[in-house]
């Protein structure tokens, strides 16, 4: 389904310019955005936004609607076995000092 997309002129704190879908609650005012056009997917809108600003990403709110673009470091962290130990391993001197501090 096609929709109108816009890119924010002002970058976010991570230096990326957000691409918003029409109707997004975080869509900037008219003077603070650039109309990109009508696109069938957010990915196409992002590519068009990169013609204006090199660092362009999908708005986090709009990204939830875009099922094709689920790659975002803040949303998905793959679980790898062995990273989290089965039991807490602390040096014995650390436990003793911690116990002493509490008493």
Instruction: Per-residue pLDDT tens, the chain, 103 aa: give them.
Output: 789 999 999 998 889 999 999 999 999 999 999 999 999 988 999 999 999 999 999 988 887 765 544 444 444 445 555 555 555 555 554 455 544 444 4
Give the residue among 78, 91, 26, 86 at the shortest CA–CA distance from 70.
78
Q: Where are the alpha helices (DSSP H) in the chain?
A: 42-49, 60-65, 92-102
State residue 60's pLDDT score: 87
H helix or E strand, kind and range, residue 89: none
pTM: 0.62
* d(C-alpha 94, C-alpha 32), whole Å: 54
* d(C-alpha 52, C-alpha 75), whole Å: 26
């Amino acid at each position: 389904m096609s929709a109108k997309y816009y890119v924010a002129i002002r970058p976010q704190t991570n230096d990326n310019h957000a691409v918003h879908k029409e109707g997004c609650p975080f869509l900037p005012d008219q003077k603070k955005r650039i109309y990109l056009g009508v696109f069938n997917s957010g990915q196409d809108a992002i590519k068009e936004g990169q013609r204006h600003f090199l660092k362009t990403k999908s708005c986090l709110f709009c990204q939830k609607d875009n099922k094709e673009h689920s790659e975002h470091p803040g949303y998905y962290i793959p679980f790898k076995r062995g990273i989290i130990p089965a039991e807490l391993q602390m040096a014995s001197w650390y436990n003793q000092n911690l116990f002493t501090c509490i008493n």
